[in-house]
Amino acid sequence: MDSAVTVSVYTEYESDHLGKYTVLVGSPVTASLGQYAEYEVTEVPDGSFLLFTARGQMPVALVETWQQIWAYFEGDVPYERAYSADFEIHHQDQPDRVDVYVAVS
C-alpha cells in the first residue's frame, strides 16, 4: 500500500453503526507485525467491501459520505454490512478525497 496515505480502521463493533466501536488512525504496514510491537496494530480481515468515495471539502464531505452509507444500507440492497472492519484511505496528495471501504457479507 502507498506510504503517502493515512488509514482509519473501524473495528470491534459492539453491534452496528449506532453501537460502540474502535477507530485506529495511522500508516499502513505490510512487514512482520513483530517489529511494530510498541504500536497498536490492527489487521483488516479478508472479505468483500463496497467502495464509497468522499470528494470535496473535508471533513464535511466525509461526514456526508458516511451519512450516505448509512442511508444506503437502510434501503433494499443486495448487501448487508458485516461490521467486521471498515476502513478509510486518506490520500495525502489529494486532500479533497477519501476512499471508504465498507465490509459486506
Query: How many CA atoms are closer than 13 Å to the CA of 15, on its beta-carbon side?
Result: 3
Domain 5-104 -> CATH class: alpha beta
pTM of the model: 0.90
Report domain extents, the chain: 5-104
Continuous segment of H or E residues that includes residue 73: helix 60-74
Quote the CA–CA distance of 4 and 19 in Å, as a whole number. 31
Continuous segment of H or E residues that includes residue 61: helix 60-74
The one-letter amino acid at 27: S
pLDDT per position in the chain (105 positions), as tens? 556 899 999 999 999 989 999 999 998 877 666 666 777 888 899 999 999 999 999 999 999 999 999 999 998 999 999 999 999 999 999 999 999 999 999
Which residues contact residue 75 at a Cβ distance below 8 angstroms, ignoring those fewer than 6 apart?
none
